[in-house]
Amino acid sequence: MNTQLLNARSLFCIAVVAACLALSGPVHAESHDVMVKIPVSTAHLDLSQPAGATELYSRLREAAWDACREGGRLGLEPVKNFKGCYEQALGGAIRAANQPQLTLVYLKTHTWEEAATHGIAVARLVAAK
Q: What is the pLDDT of residue 57?
A: 95
pLDDT in the model for residue 119: 92
Q: What are phi and psi of 116, to 5 degrees?
A: -60, -35
pLDDT of residue 33: 63
- Four-residue CA torsion sign, 111, 112, 116, 120: positive
Q: Letter for the amino acid at 65?
A: W
Give the per-residue pLDDT at 66: 84
Written as tens digits, the pLDDT of the chain (129 aa) is 433 333 333 333 323 333 443 455 555 545 556 667 788 888 889 999 999 999 999 999 988 888 888 655 566 677 788 898 889 889 999 999 999 999 999 999 999 999 999 999 887 665 555
pLDDT for the residue 74: 60
CA distance 126 to 129: 5
Which residue(s) pair with 33 in the sheet?
28
Give the pLDDT score at 36: 73
pLDDT of residue 18: 34
pLDDT computed for residue 6 by the predictor: 33
